[in-house]
Chain A
Amino acid sequence: MRDFALFVARRVLYGLLVIVAVSAVLFSILQMMPGDAIELLGGNRVSRARIDAMRVAWGLDKPPAWQYFYWLRNLAGGNMGVSILTSQDVAKMISSRLPYTLGLTLCALLVQYLIAIPIGLIAGVNKDSWFDRASVQATVILRAMPNFWLGILLMLLFSVKLRMFPISGYSGAKSLVLPVLSIALPYIADTMRLTRAEVIETMAERHVTTARAKGLSERLILLRHVLRNSLVPVTVMFFLALPWLIGGSVVVEAVFSWPGMGRLLWRSVAQQDYPVIQGVVFVITTLTVVCNTIGDVVLSLLDPRIKGAVRN
């Protein structure tokens, strides 16, 4: 138990270190931006003196390192600065959009698992059957579809032609369906293949043979012995995949004008509103590191044979 606590503590500390490093990298990347925000905003219409005054007010006259520590200190207090364009509080902008993005991605993950795990199980149990082959072939195509294009196709079919779902924006649960499907479907491929591979591997293990010898029904063996063991990596994948889904959903949010963080990031990138970009990327990165850490810990809980060596 003490070992485990130590392991968790080390993972958490390492995660924090990564977050700080990422924030530094992020900060330096955005420092390299040509020209600064004030010039961008003012253009030629604003006098030199006014620009300089604003620069002082924003702290842009200070050296980058000072700006970074200032930003970090504010961040610790939950203050991410204000948008250059709208003067809104960045933390508020993000927190008002975060639920939309999290809702979208969590639903997508859920749908993905609900479809992929049963298919993976059936395909794995009946290896080399027509069902197995067909589903593996289907994943080849699904995987090659960019999620935003899938979104456009779904929109074309269900919103434009059949008028079953709203085209864009958020107006109740119905608006969730198409964006969730566009994010979930391409990812089904990976989860299904993982489940299938795990099921095939578990089926060959001795405890399954033992269970059969005991005379357990095939169904009980599948549910209790095969599925349960096969789901370990799939569960861990849940945490590792969540941040990737958030990243991948940016484009889908753009397609469906979804009022989430991805679209906020997209708009801010187009307008070079860097306090917002910084804030959004930081939040997403932190989420990623937190999820990865949880994934590692969960894995070592579920499968004591591997001690926290998921990715390297």
Chain B
Amino acid sequence: MFVGSLSGYEFDTIDMAGKLKGPSRANLLGTDHYGRDVFTRVLYGARVALKVGFMAVVIEGLIGVTFGLLAGYFGGFIERAILFVTDITWAMPPMILAMAIVTVMGPSVDNVAFSIAIVSWAQFTRIVRAKTMSLRERPFIEAAKSIGESDISIIVRYILPNVAPSVIVLATLAFPTAIMSTTALGFLGLGAQPPTPDWGVMLSEGLSYLDNASWLSVFPGIAIVILVVGFNFLGEGLRELIDPRMKL
């Protein structure tokens, strides 16, 4: 995106002479241990966070919605099997499972997005299943069935459009969660690798300079809070607009 032009620096320009300088007019949020401009890195960090968040939510939405539709529509054995799988993912705290997956796949931004998706799709399944179950009993679905529409076509043409609003709300609320997990994994060194300006990576690098360059530990965190609060508000607002009774 266009963040590069905002600050006049590159996120990976090293300037050892100007390292660990406090916030000033030249470097709004100071510089880090390589003399890189923290403001620029925080801006680029938003790009990393948004990218991972978006990828994660798309993947988890795809998996979760598909399973939810199948479980809610068909019921019976399919439903039981899918619920069992969701119970399995719920039995592992997300952070722990994500760590195990990243271990196997190797630390990178894409793998973080993937592992976050793997640990959090079940919430989509739960809501979509419940919605689908109540839709299934409605007359217009029965009507579609009676004129010989196939199951697939009923799901795609009649049920999917009706669950879509809830899915959008869920996705908006899942987005900040994904970003928080990304920064946590980044902080642990399991996500983006330096010199990528990931907020979690920046915080973990800053930890070594806590007593003489505290700005390194403060600003990336503020950026996380701003982004997360923003998306939470957006999600809550959408929920009140679209489906006030939705339980999460």
Give the CA-CA distance A224 to B206 in the complex, in Å: 50
Contact A21 B96 (CB under 8 A): no
Residue in chain B with minimal CB distance to A266: B188
Q: Does B214 interact with chain A (Cβ within 8 Å)?
A: yes
Main secondary structure of the interface of B (DSSP, over half): helix
The one of B103, B176, B180, B224 that contacts A269, using a Cβ cutoff of 8 Å: B103
List residues of B (83-98) whose CB comes within 8 Å of A's CBs. 83-84, 87-88, 90-97
Contact A22 B99 (CB under 8 A): no
Give the CA-CA distance A255 to B94 in the complex, in Å: 19
Q: Which residues of A contact B239 (CB under 8 A)?
A: none
Contact A146 B229 (CB under 8 A): no
Given A22-B88, A254-B187: A140 touches B93 (CB 8 Å cut-off): no
Contact A152 B91 (CB under 8 A): no
The one of B99, B104, B220, B228 that contacts A250, using a Cβ cutoff of 8 Å: B99
The one of A30, A247, A270 that contacts B94, using a Cβ cutoff of 8 Å: A247
The one of B96, B101, B224 that contacts A144, using a Cβ cutoff of 8 Å: B224
Q: Does B207 interact with chain A (Cβ within 8 Å)?
A: yes
Q: How large is the interface on B (under 10, 10 to 19, 20 to 34, 35 or more residues)?
A: 35 or more
Q: Which residues of A contact B218 (CB under 8 A)?
A: 153, 156
The one of B91, B210, B221 that contacts A19, using a Cβ cutoff of 8 Å: B91
Main secondary structure of the interface of A (DSSP, over half): helix
Interface residues of A, count at CB 8 A: 51
Contact B103 A148 (CB under 8 A): no
Q: Does A84 interact with chain B (Cβ within 8 Å)?
A: no
Contact B91 A149 (CB under 8 A): no
Q: Which residues of B contact A34 (CB under 8 A)?
A: 104, 106
Q: Which residues of A contact B203 (CB under 8 A)?
A: 148-149, 152
Given A254-B187, A254-B188, A269-B99: A285 touches B207 (CB 8 Å cut-off): no
Q: Chain A CB within 10 Å — which of B92, B94, B187, B229 has the most?
A: B92
Q: Does B183 interact with chain A (Cβ within 8 Å)?
A: yes
Residues of B at the A interface (CB closer than 8 Å) are: 83-84, 87-88, 90-97, 99-104, 106, 126, 176, 180, 183-184, 187-190, 203, 206-207, 210-211, 214, 217-218, 220-221, 224-225, 228-229, 232-233
12 additional contacts (CB under 8 A) given A265-B96, A311-B126: A26-B100, A144-B225, A145-B221, A152-B221, A156-B217, A160-B211, A243-B93, A246-B96, A248-B93, A270-B189, A277-B100, A288-B93
Nearest 4 pairs between A and B by C-beta? A247-B93, A149-B221, A144-B228, A247-B95
